[in-house]
Amino acid sequence: MYDMATATINAPILYVIDFDSTFTKVEGLDELASIALSGQSNQSSIVAQIRDLTDMGMNGEISFSEGLRKRIELLSANKSHIQTLVEYLRTQVSNSFLRNRQFLSEHAENIYIVSSGFKEFIVPVAAELGILPDHVLANEFRFDQEGNIIGIDESNPLASDGGKIKALQSLQPEGEVYAIGDGYTDYELRQSGLASRFYAFTENVRREKVVAVADYVVASLDEFLFHNKLDRSQSYPTSLLKVLLLENVHPAAVEAFRKDGFQVEFLKGALDEDELCEKIKDVAIIGIRSKTNITRKVLENANRLMAIGAFCIGTNQIDLDAATEKGIPVFNAPYSNTRSVVELAIGEIILLVRNSVTKSNKMHRGEWDKSAIGSYEIRGKKLGLVGYGSIGTQLSVVAEAMGMEVYFYDAVEKLALGNAKKVSSLDELLKISDVISLHVDGRKSNAAMIGKREFDLMKDGVIFLNLSRGHVVDIPALAEAIKSGKIAGAGIDVFPHEPKTNNEPFVSELQGLSNVILTPHVGGSTLEAQENIGKFVPAKLLEYMNNGSTYGSVNFPEVQLPKLTDSHRILHIHANVPGVLAKLNSIFGKNNINITGQYLKTNESVGYVIVDIAKGYDREFLREVRAIDGTIRFRMLY
């Protein structure tokens, strides 16, 4: 339905907007019934009957006036309920209407709300967004002396069938009329010939019967404004951009993107390379966890991709170089689940040093083995941390507080926290530790960094933990070391090959070995951490999409930008070659563009220039900006 080719630059004279489920997310009368009957036993059945009548009317399945009267008969509401409804509806204004307050108030003279709803609740809600009270054409209630609703004003044209047509006729519109709404009665304005276009509005509800007869389908007010080249809050409507969320990220993420108007597809599992190459073609933002590999090949298929969110700490599953070359920033959630990993590691260290897992397994088999053999306190034992980053350091502090002696080895120079002691080589750390815990990042060169040679260096009866990345450990060598008794206990959370979904089986040489805790990569999977990540990563991605800020990106020059006010913002990503800023500035100068702010950051491969310009420019210069040598990506924000 949506067809850019037919977009017109002629502004319509009148915009006629529906109220229920268009201006607001909900149907006013349904909500009024729900409020009035609150606490009564028949509330849900009556509200359901009213909703059915509303739906039938909206789909054009019953006569409008018949449906309205039946709904009013079912209501037992009064003025105080209407006041409560108004308060509620103020919280239910459609997100894209809220975003476009400026358009609504600046074009108030040309905007009418024509609704079969009631002025008593529409006027106060719509007026807050700049709609003129006398531009609300809607029904009115009749009340008795106690303020109870007893009917509707029958003299109002909107009380009868074809009411919207009659109401619009009364305005005697001279120019074009564009009708926007979710219901069949909105389409009837177009059918009658009074409106020249009907836009089916699907942000809140999509009625297929209405969509089928619409000239255009718009999923937000921004999309309507974009289609008509009118001022709007979003330079490119988010409702035309798709977000793909994989690996069961927290629902808070879905909510955050939907709230901003994006289309969201949510999948519980990961996708393999071929599946992703296909799926990513129309995706603007992708969110993954640790099991989806975003390879160069995937990125070659991702021509609409603007940003990547790793809903975790590790980003080794993403080809960061390829993403940077394509001008795609990647964001993750450092520290988000650090504490969760630390707590699991501490728990496992205690259970393994105590030999409790073996004892528990015996109990499940009916064996009672009350003895202290092979069971120790962690107090005074030497903990060797390989990797002293976020997790390593936090584990260091907690373990020390529990009486352990902490040693660490890191590939880069790190200062010790508390009484932890740095050692100068991995081999030294392996030789002295009673417990060894890996917390290195997943860079390729760390593959199999712990194998037979390293296990041989360890003390006999060592406890070994890996909660970092699976490919870091040679699993057959680990299995051998456990079987031989070299390793007295192991806690393994990450594996070289992990199932993509919970429906796939898990197979490993470590299964069935004594005093081994196997967990399905859940070091970071606590509800606290997942909820934090589910909010944090979308916030970063949305900041980039809406404002251009790349603060916290793992592969991009980081800029933290001020909020955009009264200007338009140009975001230009280019290969880091000399002279791009000078070329940009000469284009601005030549075209008399007034620059209100400018920012530049580069890293070794890309440059990111952000220019705020005063409104009221001729768009022709954009062609020249796009043509600058080395341009990777270019977009504008309003």
Could you say whether residue 475 binds ligand 2HG (CB under 6 A)? no
Q: Which stretch binds ligand NAD (CB under 6 A): 128-136, 333-341, 345-353, 587-595?
A: 333-341
Q: Which stretch binds ligand 2HG (CB under 6 A): 120-128, 152-160, 521-529, 554-562?
A: 521-529
Residue type, 221: L
Q: Rule CB under 6 A: which of 403-432 touch ligand NAD?
A: 409-412
String of contacts with ligand 2HG for each residue 406-435, x by CB under 6 A: ------------------------------
493 binds, among ligand 2HG, ligand NAD, none (CB under 5 to 8 A by kind): ligand NAD
Could you say whether residue 624 binds ligand NAD (CB under 6 A)? no
Radius of gyration for the chain, computed over Cα atoms and rounded to the nearest angstrom: 31
Alpha-carbon distance of 313 to 390, in angstroms, equals 10
Could you say whether residue 314 binds ligand 2HG (CB under 6 A)? yes
Which residues are CB-neighbours of 278 under 8 A, at least 6 positions away?
301
Could you say whether residue 71 binds ligand 2HG (CB under 6 A)? no
User: Closest Cα to residue 21, out of 145, 186, 228?
Assistant: 186
Contacting residue, 337, 446, 466, 553, with ligand 2HG by CB under 6 A? 337
Q: Which stretch binds ligand 2HG (CB under 6 A): 154-162, 180-188, 202-210, 306-314?
A: 306-314
289 binds, among ligand 2HG, ligand NAD, none (CB under 5 to 8 A by kind): ligand 2HG
Cβ-count burial 442-454 (b if 16+ within 10 Å, e if not): beeebeebbbeeb
- CA-based max dimension of the chain: 95
* Catalytic residue chosen out of the listed positions 107, 469, 471, 574: 469
Contacting residue, 12, 163, 287, 523, with ligand NAD by CB under 6 A? 523
Q: Rule CB under 6 A: which of 259-298 touch ligand 2HG?
A: 289-290
User: Closest Cα to residue 426, out of 446, 409, 449?
Assistant: 409
Could you say whether residue 389 binds ligand 2HG (CB under 6 A)? no
Alpha-carbon distance of 388 to 366, in angstroms, equals 42
Residue type, 455: F
User: Closest Cα to residue 538, out of 304, 290, 318, 250?
Assistant: 250
Helix (H) / strand (E) element for 405: namely strand 405-409
Contacting residue, 57, 237, 261, 442, with ligand NAD by CB under 6 A? 442
Q: Whole-number minimum distance, CB 494 to ligand NAD, in Å?
A: 5
User: Closest Cα to residue 183, out of 137, 115, 136, 127?
Assistant: 115
Could you confirm whether 469 is annotated as catalytic?
A: yes
User: Closest Cα to residue 282, out of 240, 246, 245, 251?
Assistant: 240
Alpha-carbon distance of 195 to 107, in angstroms, equals 18
> How far does Cα 70 stand from its chain's mean position?
41
Q: Are 138 and 116 in contact (CB under 8 A)?
A: yes
Alpha-carbon distance of 158 to 168, in angstroms, equals 10
String of contacts with ligand NAD for each residue 334-373, x by CB under 6 A: ---xx--x--------------------------------
Residues of this chain that interact with ligand NAD (CB under 6 A) are 313-314, 337-338, 341, 386-392, 409-412, 439-442, 446, 449, 467-469, 493-494, 521, 523-524
List, by residue number, the catalytic residues: 469, 498, 521
Residues of this chain that interact with ligand 2HG (CB under 6 A) are 289-290, 312-314, 337, 521, 524-525
